[in-house]
Structure 1
Amino acid sequence: MTDRITVGHMYPNVPSPIAAKRFDVSVRRQEASQGPSFQDVFNDSLVRISHHAGVRLQQRGIELKPEQMDKIGTAIEKAAAKGAKESLIVMDNMAMIVNVKSKTIVTALDRTSMTDNVFTQIDSAVII
């Protein structure tokens, strides 16, 4: 029993890890050259609401309509164009803190919650 058994002998139809790695790299290069997928573009265009913001919206009785979400999306794009990272968006009778890069509403306040409030850790404000 001096014969060595190697992986190739035990599993002759399994490609070597080196060949698999080369395949992964070539597939990634093809995917990268094709540009972003539709799903990526779709997800990037959406304004998200964090769990915390969702709870605050519900507690304060704030309902965001599709037209308002469009305005918020436009405000986020304007803030991003100016290099903003965390922005205060004031619209109608509410205010929101938004993470511009991820297009996520972090928290939301109604008019009564905004009164006598200090907003910190923001670098911009957009008034709609």
Structure 2
Amino acid sequence: MNHIKAGQIFYPQPQPAVKPVPSTRKGVSFDSILSQKIKDQQPIEFSNHAIQRLEKRGIELSEEDLNRLSSAVQKVKAKGANESLILMNDVAYIVSVPNQKVITAMDRSSMGENVFTNIDSAVIV
């Protein structure tokens, strides 16, 4: 950090102009938009069921895996998905997209002949 000494003149650096984002929705409050943006940036959560399945099947997620999974959820959320199948590292995750919550997870050996229903999107990461 630069310190200004007595007698020095400080010239502030020009800042880029911030253009207001036009609202496509009428009647939407700033608070609701801010709350949604904050929610969108929260990390992905895991249901108790998903945690049990991960532990039972010995599936471990690194920080990088969590980031990739969260990124995949954000991508399908931007497309308007509600329930998504995300395939990553030979593991299938069923995710409630609006809640950003993993509902269940299974590894390749547990997938077998499973049929995935009630999903509206799939992502291969």
Structure 1: 5+ residue runs without aligned partners?
Answer: 1-31
TM-score (norm 2): 0.69
- TM-superposition CA deviations, 1:40-98 (whole Å, max 9, x none): 82785210000000000000000111100000011001101111000000001100000
Q: What is the root-mean-square deviation in Å for CA atoms of aligned residues?
A: 2.1
Q: Mind listing any 5+ residue stretches in structure 2 that lack a counterpart?
A: 1-28
Residues 33 and 82 of structure 1: is their aligned pair in 2 closer, same or farther, counting only changes over 3 Å?
closer
The residue aligned with 1:104 is 101
Q: 2:116 is matched with which residue: 119, 122, 125?
A: 119
2:40·2:74 contact (CA, 8 Å) conserved in 1? no
Distance 2:93 2:45 in 1: 12
Distance 2:70 2:121 in 1: 15
Q: Is the 8 A contact 2:53 2:106 kept in 1?
A: yes
Give 1 or 2 for the bigger CA radius of gyration: 1
Any conservation in 1 of the 2:46–2:102 contact (CA below 8 Å)?
Answer: yes
Give aligned pairs, total.
96
2:121 & 2:39 partners in 1: Cα distance?
26
